[in-house]
Structure 1
Amino acid sequence: MVKRLMGQPVTELDKHGIRWHLDFPDAKKPGWFLPGGRVVQGWVVLPEKLAAMRSAVRIVAEWQTAFELCHPLDIARPDVIESIFSLPGEGHPQRVCGFRFTVPPKLGYFRLWLAIDDERWLLEEVNLDIRDAEDVQQLKVLEGKQGWLFLDNDTNGSVDQFMGRMRLTQAGVDGWNNYLTELADTAGKVPWALLIAPSKESVMGASYHPLPEGASGPMHQVLALSASAGAVYPVSELKALGDSAFIPTDTHWTHKGALAATLALLAGLGIDENACHALFEQDHYISKTIVGDLGNKLTPKQVSSVEMLVSFGYAQYKTYDNGLPNFGRLLVVEYPEALVPSTCLVFGSSSSYSMFNYLCRVFQRVVFVHSAGSIDTALITAVAPAYLVAQTNARFVVQVPTVTHCLDEVIREKCAQLDDKAFEGVREKRIIASDEYLQYVGLLRWEKTASELLK
């Protein structure tokens, strides 16, 4: 069911003489779906006095407080011109008056706004019966040039971010400003940095992405904040690696990409750069064929050749791992010969894992929490790290991290979601440490939570 506001007087739009219509979604028509999701299509025609502002018109779709989609009028609609003005559509200055984009197919509600410069009007509140989307299949992979694959149809809108059609709302900007400010306050005198892993699109997109890159997006909005001075965003370092920065059939960077990001992070933390470079200059890499998280989604599966670090592996130095998949994971890596004889606490994401090969050779103890940059202050107090790192991915910036993360709650929620097969997988991955050791490193409380639920 689509709730229409068009039949009601829209005072501001009437006053300005702005006409518009939403073709899809429409309660009287079947849902229209494309590979990108449910189609939102319509048109906007301005009065003659405002016609010169057509390029400034944006249609905004919003269903979350932190971000919104923002689309221009870029579809030719000569049929609309002929109907409204009784003039030939071809050649008319407002012939390109249409919009068409997609929203997630199972989105049940969104608001549609008309924005012109700094003014905006609510066009419609759309409520949808999502039963028509039950059988919609979305391909999660976008095939680029020369075998490069990119993420598509993810919950963070990676394609819309890359094309500059997704942006943070004021609430999202304020949320990031508050997070960065609170992160600095929480760190206090402890050296800290926020590492934001650039998206594959932002590094490799100009060469291989099938769609055009936009001028700005959420990442640019975050970096524009004065509070982001402590952020490390190594996009130039990764671009300097060329094709060696990312895995063609995966969303993540290569080992060499992870090294470039690690060195940028260490510089941000004030660690001696020359000493760090010396640690890794003898590293050896060999080319291996891998599938990757994107190549695995295709039929047949697509593989790529990537240079992998073979002269060092952090896994043998793990002293504790609660084994949980993704959020809620807690692990410790200890390397006695590390450059700095102290602890680095990392609140990171999946991009952090390949960095452990390098981080653990710098810091004698690396304690990692999978939280995508969200901070549990109780864990900081318990671990008492000499260095603090928050790490998230650029495509995650539409989900503002917090400093009120509660690892206990996340562990409980994750365990409640595991089926029997997943439980077995967790038990196989777990590396159990003694209570005395966990008490010493400050993690006993959280292991007790996990062990009670994984019996």
Structure 2
Amino acid sequence: MKNWLKRCLSDRPADALEGAPVKAWSLDYPSPEREACFVAAGRVVQGWVLFDDAAFADSAERDAVLSSARVAAGWDAVYELSHPLEVARPDVIERVLQAEPSQHAQRHCGFRFSIPHRVKRFKLWLVIDDQRWPLKDIVIEEEGNTPLPSVLKVLKGRDGWLFLDNDTNGSVDQYAGRLLLTAEGVGAWQHYLQEVERQANLQQAHYAVLVAPSKESVMGPRYHPVAEGSTGPIFQLLALPEASRFVYPVPALTALGNDAFIQTDTHWAPLGALAATKELALALGISAEAIEAQFAADSYHARSVGGDLGNKLEPKQRCQVQSLRSFNYNRCRYFDNGLPNFGRLLVLVNEAALLPVTCLIFGSSSSYSTFNYLCRLFKHVVFVHSAGSLDPELISAVKPEYLVIQTNARFVVQVPKVEQSLHQLIDEKRARLSDDDIVQVNKRQVLVPEDDAVIQSLGLVAWASL
């Protein structure tokens, strides 16, 4: 196939590269000649591409190109959608090639996918192996009051299992292997991971990056209605040399069966959080025997829960989850600014922990269920809800013996920042709080005096006083 690509490039002048391998192509949607087409997931992008038979040396070369060809759509520098030509278009074979379509080699010359409603400008490329040709730059003009379909962010799988759909991170496209990081996105992740290592080395801290697998990656093969792809952003990252400190506990979670994730929620179940914590602790250099002994006496009980997916349905859907009964990290909450999500600062203190040290975590929502276990491994757990973005000033102030980055696999299309001011996050979050939010923050927060000895010893006075 590469020889074919070289021929196409060498046989045509540079200003004709855009159409070099293509006999004809067309974009059905979006088009100024047709009304916009929408589905729940977003705006429909539909069209077809026909290759020039004269460009192929033989049928094997043609078939290799047809199986490799993708149409990519990009509107963000970090990632892009990539869809194969898999839609049958007999109408195109009849009309353009004037041939019988039923057995034609290029019968599946069509593409159809959707992009988010919010996207008003994007590019289309034809991609074959590592070569690409620009097809079209698309700008969506003002569409007036075109009604958009209602969006339900829940995908119903088999046996009552629910999965995320139509989210801003393109979870379904990631799982299907049709959303990929660009070269720029991969490079940005490399820079970020190099900075994580540098910050850890400055403090001589043990460190690891815990990536919570998407629910699809663990439960999907059994219950998801979409087939799993062989590529995706998380696999691109795992292939990087900088990912040597990644903890991606798919095997450990898969071994738990249905106890790994909550049937009606996107997050791992308590037993899944325990499995992930054990893998993280091993990666941080803690002995397996000490880890097992710390949680050996834990007891669990079945509890009915709704979840962030089940609560979106009408009627709401609930399920049974094995929940930890013998311990709750809330008894170790020493300080908590109570802010929802980004900007939350939480300090856990447990004098009976395995190690008399501090673990600093820059994490996301999947971190919370690990606190029941982490605060029994480390005397001090300092948590910042930042989805992995770093605050070097905070790291320098806390001087942790252990540094943990926690993000979710579906978030990797958003590269964390290497310099994210927690002070700024807190200020911005407080400025956006509604009256109802403030009530909830006041109920949740745990405050201490500004001269508190523990907060001072952890170097957190500047942030705890905000």
**TM-score of the pair, normalised by structure 1:** 0.94
Closer, same or farther in 2 for the Cα pair 1:100/1:436, shift >3 Å? same
Secondary structure in 2 matching 1:256: helix
How far apart in 1 are the matches of 2:154 and 2:358? 38
CA distance in 2, matches of 1:108, 1:132: 15
Moved more, 186-195 or 409-418: 409-418
* Equivalent in the alignment of 1:368: 383
Match of 2:129 in 1: 117
1:403 maps to amino acid: V
**CA displacement at 1:131 relative to structure 2:** 4.8
CA distance in 2, matches of 1:375, 1:131: 42
Output the CA distance in 1 between the equivalents of 2:442 and 2:35: 47
Structure-1 residue corresponding to 2:290? 275
Equivalent position of 2:72 in the other structure: 60
Corresponding residue for residue 255 of structure 1: 270
- Structure 1 match to 2:100: 88
Distance change >3 Å, CA 108–CA 134, structure 1 → 2: farther
Change (3 A) 1:14 1:187: closer
User: Aligned partner of 2:43: which letter?
Assistant: R
Q: Deviations over 1:376-399 (max 9, x none)?
A: 111111111111101000011111
The counterpart of 2:36, out of the listed 3, 12, 31, is: 31
Q: CA deviation at 1:218?
A: 0.5
What is the rounded CA distance, in whole Å, between the counterparts of 1:131 and 1:216 in structure 2? 38
Name the counterpart of 1:5.
Answer: none
Residue from 82, 91, 97 that aligns with 1:79: 91
Give the conservation status (yes or no) of the 8 Å contact 1:285–1:310.
Answer: yes
1:234-245 aligned at under 5 Å gives the runs 234-245=249-260
Q: Give the Cα separation in 1 of the matches to 2:22 and 2:394.
A: 58
Question: Structure 2: how far apart are the matches of 1:60 and 1:28?
Answer: 22
Is the Cα contact below 8 Å between 1:31 and 1:132 reproduced in 2?
Answer: no
Q: Conserved in 2, the CA contact under 8 Å of 1:291 and 1:301?
A: yes
More moved, 126-135 vs 373-382:
126-135
CA offsets 1:304-332 (integer angstroms, 9 cap, x no match): 11100011000121011011110100010
After superposition, the Cα gap between the structure-2 partners of 1:337 and 1:98, relative to the gap in structure 1 and judged at 3 Å, is same
**8 A contact 1:105–1:136 mirrored in 2:** no
Mark the runs of 5 or more structure 2 residues left unpaired by the alignment.
1-13, 57-61
CA contact (8 A) 2:19 2:133 kept: no
Q: Deviations over 1:147-199 (max 9, x none)?
A: 00000011111000000001110011111111111111110121111101111
Q: Which residue of 1 aligns with 2:59?
A: none
C-alpha distance after superposition, 1:111-170 (max 9, x if no partner): 111112221111111111365566432110000000000000111110000000011100
Identify the match of residue 163 of structure 2 among 133, 150, 161.
150
C-alpha contact 1:74 1:96 (8 A) present in aligned 2: yes
- How many angstroms apart in 2 are the aligned matches of 1:13 and 1:368? 50
2 CA distance for matches of 1:295 and 1:132? 32
Residue 461 of structure 2 corresponds to residue 448 of structure 1: no
Q: For the Cα contact (< 8 Å) 1:107–1:130, is it kept in 2? A: no
Q: 2:253 aligns to what SS in structure 1? A: helix
Which of 190, 197, 205 lines up with 1:184 in the alignment? Answer: 197
Cα offset, 1:92, TM superposition? 0.9
Counterpart in the other structure of 1:161: 174
Matches within 5 A, 1:388-399: 388-399=403-414
How far apart, CA to CA, are the structure 1 residues paired with 2:241 and 2:143? 41
Amino acid in the other structure paired with 1:440:
S
Secondary structure in 1 matching 2:138: strand
Structure 2 CA distance for aligned equivalents of residues 130 and 245 of structure 1: 45
- Residues 273/16 of structure 1: CA separation in 2 closer, same or farther (3 Å cut): closer
CA contact (8 A) 2:329 2:372 kept: yes
In the aligned structure 1, how far is the partner of 2:332 from the partner of 2:51?
65
Contact 2:18 2:134 in 1 (8 A): no
Instruction: Measure the CA separation in 2 of the matches of 1:386 and 1:313.
Output: 24
* CA distance in structure 1 between the aligned counterparts of 2:292 and 2:279, rounded to whole angstroms: 11
- Which amino acid counterpart does residue 84 of structure 1 have in structure 2? V
2:316 partner SS: coil
Give the drift of 1:38: 1.1
Once superposed, what is the RMSD of the aligned Cα atoms?
Answer: 1.4
Q: Which amino acid aligns with 2:47?
A: G
Q: Aligned letter for 2:161?
A: W
Verify the 8 A CA contact 2:208 2:247 in the aligned structure 1. Answer: yes
Q: 1:206 aligns with which of 191, 196, 221?
A: 221
1:108 corresponds to 2:120: yes
| Structure 1 residue 386 corresponds to structure 2 residue 401 | yes
Matching of residue 173 in structure 1 with residue 186 in structure 2: yes
Identity %: 50
The corresponding residue for 1:453 is none
Query: 2:74 matched to 1:69?
Result: no
SS of residue in 2 equivalent to 1:182: helix
Distance 2:420 2:98 in 1: 60
For residue 411 of structure 1, give the secondary structure of its aligned residue in structure 2. Answer: helix
Q: Which runs of 5+ in 1 are unaligned?
A: 1-8, 450-455
Contact 1:317–1:335 (CA under 8 A) maintained in structure 2:
yes
Aligned equivalents of 2:213 and 2:427: distance in 1? 31
> Which stretch of the first structure deviates more once superposed, 325-334 or 123-132?
123-132
Question: How many residue pairs end up in the alignment?
Answer: 441
Query: Residue deviations 1:355-410, cap 9 Å, x none?
Result: 00000001011000001111111111111111110100001111111221111111
Deviation at 1:441, TM superposition (A): 2.2
Residue pair 2:343, 2:384 contacting (<8 A) in 1 also: yes
Question: Could you tell me how far apart the structure 2 residues matched to 1:104 and 1:319 are?
Answer: 42
Q: Matches of 1:39 and 1:14 in 2, distance apart? A: 23
**Are residue 400 (structure 1) and residue 415 (structure 2) matched?**
yes
